[in-house]
Amino acid sequence: MQPIQRIKPFDVPTMHVELQERFKEYILVNKLQPGDPLPTEAQLAEQLGVSRAAVREGLRSLESLGVIYSRRGEGRYVRGFNLDPILQNLRYSMLFDTEDLRQMIEVREQLEMGFVPAAIAAMDPATLVELHDLVDQMRQRALAEGYFLDKDLEFHAAIYRPINNQVLSKLLEVFCTIYKNLRDRSLLTMKNAVSEVGNHEAILNAIEARDVALARRLIRDHFSGIKERISAARLVNTAGSKTK
C-alpha cells in the first residue's frame, strides 16, 4: 500500500492564501474519495506548522465551498461533487439585478434548447402523462387565476428529468428558485395566460411527436417572450429612477 503523503508546511506570511489550496492538494494527491476522512485538526496543524485555530478556519472555509463536510464528534470528510454552495450565491445575487436575470434566462434558454434532443430521445410514457397533466393544471389556473408559475416550472423540470443529468436538474432547480423569490413580481406577469398555456402545449406536442427542430424553435420563442418582459421591466425601472 502506498504511504500517505503529508501536507507540505508553508511560511506564515502566505498562510491565508495557501491554506485552502494545501488542503485541496492533500485530497487530490492522496486520491481521497467522497466519504474518506481527513486528518484531525491537531494532525493537520502539526504537518503544516500552524495553529489549530488557523486550521479550523481553513477547514470551515472548505466546508462553505462544499469541498468537505463535518460530522459532529467524528471529524471531517471529503464531499462528493456538489454545486450547492456556488448556486446558493447565484440564487441570492439574481434577486436584485434585472440585467443579471436576463442573462440567466439566456443561459437557461441555451441549456433547454441544447438538451431537448436528449430529452426527446429519453422521453418515456409516464413523463408524457405527467406533462399532459401539468398542461391541464396550467389551463385551469389560467382560466381561474391567470397565474401558474409553479406548474410552468414543474413542466420544464419534468421535460429533462428522463435524461438523469443531476447537474442539469440542479441548475434548473436554482432557476426555479430565482423565479419564485424575485422581488420584482411584475417580471412574472403574463399578458395572456391562456395563450401561454397554448405555447406549453405546443412544446409538449412537438416533444411527443419527437420533432426536435420544432421543439427547439418553440422553446426559443417561449424564452423570447420572457426576455421581452424583463427588458420592459428594466426600462420602466430605469425611467422611474431618473424621475426621482
Q: Are residues 50 and 170 in the same domain?
A: no
25-45 burial, b at 16+ Cβ within 10 Å, e below that, comes to ebbeebebeeeeebbebeebb
What's the structural domain count of the chain? 2
Asked whether 55 and 41 are in contact (CB, 8 A), the reply is yes
Q: Is residue 40 over pLDDT 60?
A: yes
Average pLDDT rounded to a whole number, residues 209-238? 81
The answer on 95 and 38 residing in a single domain is: no
Higher pLDDT, 1 or 226: 226
Q: What are phi and psi of 218, to 5 degrees?
A: -65, -40
Q: Domain check: are 89 and 188 in the same one?
A: yes
User: For residue 72, is pLDDT > 80?
Assistant: yes
Report the distance separating Cα 131 and Cα 200, nearest Å. Answer: 9
Dihedral (Cα; 177, 179, 182, 184), 10-degree rounding: 180
Residue 238 binned pLDDT confidence (cut-offs 50, 70, 90): very low
237 has pLDDT over 70: no
When pLDDT is cut at 50, 70 and 90, the band that residue 3 belongs to is low
Same domain, 113 and 205: yes
Q: Check whether 13 has a pLDDT greater than 50.
A: no
Per-residue pLDDT band for 149 (boundaries 50, 70, 90) equals confident
Same domain, 229 and 126: yes
120, 163 Cβ separation under 8 angstroms: no
Question: In this predicted structure, what is the pLDDT of residue 176?
Answer: 81
The confidence score (pLDDT) of residue 62 equals: 85
pLDDT at 146 over 60: yes
Choose the weakest-confidence range: 57-61, 183-187, 230-234.
183-187
Confidence of residue 110 (pLDDT cuts 50, 70, 90): very high
Residue 21 above 60 pLDDT? Answer: yes
Residues 199 and 104 in one domain: yes
Q: For 18, which DSSP code?
A: H
Strand duo 68-71 + 75-78: pairing: antiparallel
Which pLDDT score, from 0 to 100, does residue 56 have?
A: 87
Structural domain span for residue 105? 85-243
pTM over 0.85: no
**Residue at which a domain ends, from 27, 58, 78:** 78
Q: Are 23 and 59 in contact (CB under 8 A)?
A: yes
- Give pLDDT, residue 102: 80
Q: Which of 78, 108, 134 is the last residue of a domain?
A: 78
Give the chain's mean pLDDT.
Answer: 82
139: pLDDT strictly greater than 70: yes
In a domain, residue 6? The reply is: no
